[in-house]
Chain A
Amino acid sequence: MNCQEIHPLLHAYVDSELDLMPSLEVDRHLQHCAACAAMKRSLESLRGNLRRADLAYRAPSNLRARILQSVAAETEEKEIPQRASRPWVWQLLALGSLGFAVFTLMLQPPGNSSNDRLADEAISSHVRSLMASHLMDVVSTDQHTVKPWFNGKIDFAPEVKDFAAKGFPLIGGRMDYLEDQTVAALVYQRNKHTINAFVWPAKTATPTTIQARRGYTVINRDVNGLHYCIVSDLNGTELQEFANLF
């Protein structure tokens, strides 16, 4: 084999993907061709550098938790029957949700079923929105871009404020559907956590509530005739700090 024939095989040779016979041919050629031997060394050197540089990213632990939570949430929605065996990940989640359950009981009186339904619905919308393509219809950190975008799409004007200075930057907005009506969804960020603030005109004055469900925190709050339903996997304290900004 001459150099022209060897070149296309070198990558597969270095990658150990060449069959035995062609591999032996390349071996033979490399023994007496300095140019091809140099090419081979340069390929090996490149791959060595790539491997040594440790360039692979690892999944952040909060992402793992979010993925497990969303899978668990989806399973619940489908009401798949319970089984006896519980691997440790799910036990951990169960433990976590037990903690949240206690937290919830401390926060609100039991049996508030319409509130629970709204919270569940809001969490489902939040989880759906986190799926890559649904988070935002208008992507902007500028409140003067996001607010006019809602014009003509909904029959009320949501307050759109950027709280970047307070550590909750606005990242966009979209239309969503909650409580049988079209609502505005404002999307904010706190570090790696996404916050959905669903906004619609308040029908009756309701007191502020905070709920912890399925690993998410849900805050309902009325401000100036608008109802805000705020959902995030952020902790309750910080989400309350956020809710108070409206």
Chain B
Amino acid sequence: MQTMSATDPQRQFEQVVVPHLDAAYNLARWLAGNDHDAEDIAQEASLRAFRFLGGFRGGNSRSWLLTIVRNTAYTWLKQNRPQAIVSIAEDELHEIEDPDAMKNHSLHHADRDVLRAALEDLPTEFREVLILRELEGLSYKEISEVADAPIGTVMSRLARARKQLQDFLAKKGDLQ
């Protein structure tokens, strides 16, 4: 029986990856939709991060880890739940929003479960930008790196995600 030894890669892992395990699990959980698969994805992604530590060039370690989590989750989803990934035609994204549809949507005390359900109802690519923005507080630039999409696309996905969220909440009648 050997004892665990602290080596440089382990220390680096502890500094670069471990502080962001909550963020990693959160993204995995929102992409996978259940605890069990999210744990597998988070663990696989963390191991990959460990192996790729040499490729981490400093900078934002959270975005770096979340990029790996996202890639791992998408690979997993493609293999296990191909129907979950709905590809979105990007040229549809620039529709002009109807201000009347939005202006009454000032929800005040939307129930937590309703919000959760509304987020789960979103297409994966919309859900992830909202999670990264609202729950993880990433900047547009960081989201564009994690989601591997231009900033313009991130912005239009965010706009459409929020609109769908508001529409869903409106339908649930959970508005003021």
Chain B residues near A42 (CB, 8 Å)?
102-107, 166
Q: Which residues of A, 126-155, contact B by the 8 Å Cβ criterion?
A: 130-133, 135
Most buried by B among A41, A71, A85, A97: A71
Residues A71 and B22 in contact, CB atoms below 8 Å apart: no
State the Cβ distance, A138 to closest chain B Cβ, in Å. Answer: 13
Cβ of A156 within 8 Å of any chain B Cβ, yes or no, is: no
Residues A87 and B40 in contact, CB atoms below 8 Å apart: no
Cα A80 to Cα B14 in complex, Å, equals: 16
State the Cβ distance, B39 to closest chain A Cβ, in Å. Answer: 5
Cα A53 to Cα B174 in complex, Å, equals: 14
Cα A213 to Cα B4 in complex, Å, equals: 11
Cβ of A63 within 8 Å of any chain B Cβ, yes or no, is: yes
Residues B39 and A192 in contact, CB atoms below 8 Å apart: yes
Cα A8 to Cα B155 in complex, Å, equals: 9
Q: How large is the interface on B (under 10, 10 to 19, 20 to 34, 35 or more residues)?
A: 35 or more
Interface stretch of the complex, out of A9-17, A22-30, A160-168, A237-245: A9-17
Cβ of A246 within 8 Å of any chain B Cβ, yes or no, is: no
Cα A75 to Cα B112 in complex, Å, equals: 42
Cα A38 to Cα B109 in complex, Å, equals: 17
Q: Given A72-B4, A83-B8, are A46 and B166 also a contact pair (CB < 8 Å)?
A: yes
Give the contacting residue for B25; candidates A7, A57, A100, A131; CB below 8 A: A57
Cα A132 to Cα B162 in complex, Å, equals: 31
A interface size (C-beta, 8 A): 64
Residues A98 and B10 in contact, CB atoms below 8 Å apart: no
Give the contacting residue for B40; candidates A98, A101, A131; CB below 8 A: A131
Residues A67 and B14 in contact, CB atoms below 8 Å apart: no
Chain B residues near A45 (CB, 8 Å)?
105-108
Residues B22 and A58 in contact, CB atoms below 8 Å apart: yes
Chain A residues near B44 (CB, 8 Å)?
130-133
Cβ-closest chain B residue relative to A76 = B2
State the Cβ distance, A108 to closest chain B Cβ, in Å. Answer: 11
Cβ of A209 within 8 Å of any chain B Cβ, yes or no, is: no
Cβ of B26 within 8 Å of any chain A Cβ, yes or no, is: yes
Cβ of B64 within 8 Å of any chain A Cβ, yes or no, is: no
Give the contacting residue for A35; candidates B26, B99, B112; CB below 8 A: B99
Cα A66 to Cα B21 in complex, Å, equals: 12
Cα A43 to Cα B99 in complex, Å, equals: 12
Residues A67 and B36 in contact, CB atoms below 8 Å apart: no
Which residues of B come within 8 Å of A, CB atoms? 1-11, 13-14, 18, 21-22, 24-26, 29-30, 35-44, 46-47, 50-51, 72, 75-76, 79-80, 96-97, 99-100, 102-110, 112, 115-116, 119, 130, 133-136, 139-140, 155, 158-159, 162, 165-166
Q: Can you list 9 A-B pairs, Cβ within 8 angstroms, ordered by A? A: A11-B159, A45-B105, A50-B115, A57-B29, A59-B24, A70-B47, A86-B6, A101-B3, A131-B43
